[in-house]
Structure 1
Amino acid sequence: MPETKFREIADQLAAEFGALPPGSKVAGEHEIAERFGVGRAAARAALQELQRRMLVRRIKGDGTYTAKRIDYVISSGRAPSWSRTVREAGSVPRSVVRSCEVVPMPELVADRLGRQVGEPCFRLRRRSFTDGLPASWGDEWVPVDVVPQLATAIRHEPSLHEILRQMAEAEPERASSRASIEVATDEVADELECTPGDPVWLVESVNRDARSGRLLCFTQRWIRSDAMRVLFELVAPAAATAAATPTEARR
C-alpha cells in the first residue's frame, strides 16, 4: 500500500466531515479500515492526520468527533468570562464544578494576589465544555473575603464573572495574563479526556475590579489545543492611535 494512502483517506473524510455539525461522532479506526479496505494502521494514521489538521477531536475511551476550533481571545477590552468568550465565538459553553473548598492560600497564589501565604481562599475546580465536548479544566482561586458565600453561589450561578459582579459588586477585568503551550500531565489528560503528552494551553490570569483596582481572583486553566486557539489582542489607546495615523483620523 502506498505511504500516501492514509492521506487520501484523510482528504476524503475531511470533505465529508466538513458538512457535519461540530461534536458529531464519526467512524473509528475499525469502520474506516473496513470501508477503505486498509489495515488498522492506515486507518489510525488517517485519523491522526485529521487530528493534526484540527478537524477532529479524539476523546479518550469514547471515540472521535468533528471539531470546531474556536478563538479564546484575551484582551483588555473583553470581560474575563469563560462562558461569554465561548458564546461570542459561536459555541455553547457548559461548566461542571468538581469542587469548591476553602484551603490555605499557597505561595504562588498569594504572590499573584498580593496576599499572605496561608490566608483562607476558595479553590474552585471546574471542567468546562464547548459544544458538549471537554475543552478546559482548571482552578480559580478567590480569597474568602472577596465572596464569602462562593460555595453556595456557584451552585446557582455557573459564571464566576457574574458572581463577582453581583456579590462582590465588582466589575472584573484582566490585570495580567500569560499563556504557554505545555504537555498534558496524567491529571490534566484525565480531565480533558485526551492523551498524556498531548499539547495543551496553560492560561494564567489575575482579575481585578476595574473601579477600585482590588485584585479578585487568580485562575489557572488548561485548554485543549484542538478545541481552542488562544489569542492576545493588544489595542492601542485611542489618543495614541489618532496621533500615529492623523490622515486616517481625518477621514
Structure 2
Amino acid sequence: MASAKYREIAAALTAEIADLPPGTKVDGELAIAARFDVSRAAARAAVQELERQFLVRRVRGMGTFTARRVDYPISSHRAPSWSHTLRDAGATPRTVVRSCESIPMPAAVAAKLDAPEGTAVWRLQRRSFTDELPASWGTEWVPAATVPELPTALRVSDSLDHVIRTVGGVAPTRSWVRASMEAAPDEVADELAIDPGAAVWFVKSLNTDRVSGTPVCLTERWIRADAIRVVFEVGEDLGG
C-alpha cells in the first residue's frame, strides 16, 4: 500500500512538472508530505522516484529542481566537439580550463597517440557546463606539435575541436570510443558537484586527422548521467 502511494504521488508530480523549464524549483519532501498528507518517508520515496527518472535534481542546501537531460550523440559521422554537439541539442555549453601544461608524454599516452615516450604533450584538464550545470570533467592530451600555443588559443575559444581545426589545421574525427558507467570517484564528484558514488559515464576516445590519420587528441572524460544522455550511433540507420 505504501509503495502504491508514493508511486501515485510521483505520477501526480510528474504530470505537474512536465511543462516547467529546466531549473525550476519545486516542492521538497516536507511540502510534499504536507500536501499529500503522507509521511516524510513516503514523500522522500516519491522524490527519489522522480530522480530515478531524471525528472528532478536535488542540490544540497538549495532544494529540488526540474531537470532535463541533454542528448550527447557519439558517432563517427559527427564532429568530436562537446560544445557543437550540445548546441545542436538546444543546450548552452560553456567550458572552463582548470589547467593546461606541457609535459613529457607518459608511456601509456604515447602508445595511444602513436608518438615516442617523452614527446611534448599538452595535458589539459577542463570542466564543462550545460545550461550552467557542471556536466563533464576530464583530461585531454594534445601533442604540442599539433597546437604549439594551446593555452593562448583556448583564451580565444573554449572549443578544443575548433582550436585544433583552425590553429592546428587538421580535421579531427573519432577513431575509437570506449565508454562505461561508473561510480564517481571523490575528485570527479567534487568537480561535477555530485555525491561520491553517483552514476557517471567514463568515456575515453581518440581523435585522428581525417586526412592523414595522425592522432591529434586523446580524451578521458567523466559525464554526469543525470545531466547528459549519452547516445551511441552505429551504422547507417540513424533516424529516431
- Give the structure-2-normalised TM-score: 0.91
Question: 1:134 aligned to 2:117?
Answer: no
Equivalent residues in 2 for 1:53-92 (5 A)? 53-92=53-92
Displacement of 1:3 after TM fit? 3.3
- Which runs of no fewer than 5 residues in structure 2 stay unpaired? none
Query: 1:171 & 1:134 partners in 2: Cα distance?
Result: 28
Query: 2:125 & 2:206 partners in 1: Cα distance?
Result: 16
Question: 1:3 aligned to 2:25?
Answer: no
Letter in 1 for 2:52: R
Per-residue deviation, residues 29-79 of structure 1 (Å, max 9, x unmatched): 233333333333222221111011111123344433212122211111100
Equivalent residues in 2 for 1:18-167 (5 A)? 18-167=18-167
Which residue matches 2:208?
208
Question: 1:221 aligned to 2:221?
Answer: yes
Q: Which moved more, 1:9-18 or 1:103-112?
A: 103-112
Question: 1:180 aligned to 2:177?
Answer: no
Does the C-alpha gap of structure 1 residues 62 and 94 become closer, same or farther in structure 2, counting only changes over 3 Å?
farther
Letter in 1 for 2:162: E
Count of residues paired in the alignment: 237
| Contact map agreement 1:94 1:132 (CA 8 A) in 2 | yes
- Give the structure-1-normalised TM-score: 0.87
Displacement of 1:236 after TM fit? 4.6
Displacement of 1:143 after TM fit? 1.4
Letter in 2 for 1:224: R
Per-residue deviation, residues 165-197 of structure 1 (Å, max 9, x unmatched): 111011111111111111111111111111211
Displacement of 1:83 after TM fit? 0.6
Letter in 2 for 1:4: A
Let me know the Cα RMSD of the aligned residues: 1.9
Query: 2:77 & 2:13 partners in 1: Cα distance?
Result: 39
Q: Which moved more, 1:212-221 or 1:128-137?
A: 128-137
Query: 2:112 & 2:25 partners in 1: Cα distance?
Result: 41
| Contact map agreement 1:60 1:194 (CA 8 A) in 2 | no
